[in-house]
Amino acid sequence: MKIKRDRFNSGQALVTVIFVVAILTAVAVMLTTRSIRQFRDASANLRELQAQTVAYGAVNYVANELQQITLNGATPPLNYTPPPNTDNNGWTQFSNGWYKVDFVDTASRLNINTASLNELEQMPNITTDIASAIVDWRSSGEQTSANGAKSDYYQSLPTPYNSKDAPLDSIGELLLVKGITPSVLYGPFASYGVPNTTNPNSPSASTGIGNQAFSLFGQSAAPPGGLSELLTTYSQELNVASDGTPRVDLQTASESTLTQQLQLPSNVVSNLINYRNNNSSSFNSMADLANVSGFSKQVLSQIADRITMTSGQYRNGVIDINDCSPYVLATIPGINSDTINAIMQFRAAGEQFTSLNDLFQLSGITEQQLLNLLDYVCVKSSAYLIHVRVILNGSRAIYGYVAMVELGAPSTASGSSTGSSGSSGSPSSASTANSASSSTPTPSVLIWRQVPEFPGWEFWQMNSATGGYLGNSSPSATGGTRNTNPGY
């Protein structure tokens, strides 16, 4: 009996040992698995941090290049040069990775925070209801427009929320607006690259003037990236001429300013001042110059870039005719297909508008049509979107980042445009003051964020017809190689 009892006790001990070993093994496996997961997470975080460092270096380089080559926002970015270690595919080696960059003039897009209801309606896929909902979303107060939506509508949704009643901070915020679906905002590739042709909520394409002109250039009703590639929440132009001197405000400029700085004949100056005095409440548009004797097409071709109807440092929401697509051109009030075609054909011939004076080189456009344009267009910008794609050494994963950068304004342009005091001096003296300024303007990063592939960096430069893309789209061979797929 004793031997059986000993064997029984030994068996119990063995079972206990096996049980304990099993528990310890399970704990060890669990801890190992957790350690592996933590290690992978830490490695992923490290790679993201490394990619972000590369991207931020790229943004700093491009932003400072733009600051210099645009003369602090006074001219278009005509002479951008990629870094010397950029390969034939536009990839630049930096630190422990490679980056590919392009930049987008935000003035090449329609500013949804400043666009009128009619301007919004001219965009592809934006119906009157959607345009009204956008205006209501950004407008203060709770008064709903005829076709719009305010908090009472959004509170009735399954997941209720309030109308913002303030300017939009990002294009993605439009998905909160009534009628905006992913396919409307990001195009047919909204569902991770799968064309969406059955979405019953997608409105039909707009029938505005824009779609009449697009067929002439072989373009469809909407770009691959949808509205996201045509809209911006922020755009502005420094209110200076291409030589950096403040523009002359025609609403307040004195007789001496009009004569000395614009070199207008005395009879034209008298006509302007008399018209201004007799129509002070309605003289607020460049188009009004058609009512002033002496402002011929020839005269305007010499002064268009040096005159303005605002004393502000910037002109907000104007459209850059150098880089915008015909979709965006079509939103300009009063524009017609002839004017759109003239601008696009001017650019297609390899020409670039270096100042607003160049508008008057367009053939087949009347003086009145050109004057109408001056209130809504520009040829340069003070704000840019910088797109960066990053690949780390030893990896094929692509990280995408976008930054919105605002160029610093020179001290001579930090005040208002030249008005009645005429204190800005002659163009030559202002240029000298600008170059001799002790303070050097620097760019500022307003927005910085990582973006996914869909909807995100896959749309960048997918279709050059959307306009606005510059930078490394056609880099010269400047050395450097990268052994990865050049199709990125």
**What SS3 string covers 168-236?**
CCCHHHHHHCCCCCHHHHHHHHCECCECCCCCCCCCCCCCCHHHHHHHHHCCCCCCCCHHHHCEECCCE
**Taking 60 as the threshold, does the pLDDT of residue 398 lie above it?**
yes
**Taking 50 as the threshold, does the pLDDT of residue 193 lie above it?**
no
> Out of 52-61, 181-190, 286-295, which region has the weakest mean confidence (pLDDT)?
181-190
| pLDDT bracket for residue 189 (50, 70, 90) | low
Look up the CATH number of domain 238-320+347-378: 1.10.150
pLDDT, one tens digit per residue, over 460-484 is: 754 333 345 555 443 333 333 333 3
What is Dmax (Cα atoms) for the chain? 133
CATH 1.10.40 domain span(s) along the chain:
111-229
pLDDT (0 to 100) of residue 461: 57
Q: Spelled out in words, what is the top-level CATH class assigned to the domain 111-229?
A: mainly alpha
Q: Mean of the pLDDT values across residues 98-116?
A: 95
pLDDT (0 to 100) of residue 212: 39
pLDDT (0 to 100) of residue 415: 53
Calculate the CA dihedral of residues 35, 40, 41, 42 and round it to 10 degrees: 90
Task: For residue 8, give both structure tokens.
Answer: 């029984």
| Residue 101 backbone phi and psi in degrees, to 5 | -130, 145
Q: Mean of the pLDDT values across residues 281-301?
A: 92
Please name the residues in contact with 404: beta carbons below 8 A apart, sequence gap of 6 or more: 106, 234, 383, 384, 385, 386, 445, 446, 447, 448
Question: Percentage of residues in the chain with pLDDT exceeding 70?
Answer: 77
The burial of 191, by beta-carbon neighbours within 10 Å (0-12 exposed, 13-18 middle, 19 or more buried), is given as middle
Calpha distance 404→103 (Å, rounded): 9
Residue 73's nearest CA partner among 315, 425, 366, 277 is 315
Question: Percentage of residues in the chain with pLDDT exceeding 90?
Answer: 59
Radius of gyration of the chain (CA): 29
Calpha distance 285→251 (Å, rounded): 9
Please name the residues in contact with 358: beta carbons below 8 A apart, sequence gap of 6 or more: 351, 379
**Taking 80 as the threshold, does the pLDDT of residue 201 lie above it?**
no
My answer on whether omega of the bond before 246 falls inside 30° of 0, hence cis, is no
pLDDT (0 to 100) of residue 8: 52
- Other beta carbons less than 10 A from residue 292's beta carbon: 17
pLDDT (0 to 100) of residue 407: 96
pLDDT, one tens digit per residue, over 20-34 is: 777 877 777 777 777
Please name the residues in contact with 281: beta carbons below 8 A apart, sequence gap of 6 or more: none
CATH 1.10.150 domain span(s) along the chain:
238-320+347-378
Q: Mean of the pLDDT values across residues 321-337?
A: 93
Torsional class of 127: left (φ above 0), alpha (ψ -120 to 50), beta (otherwise): beta
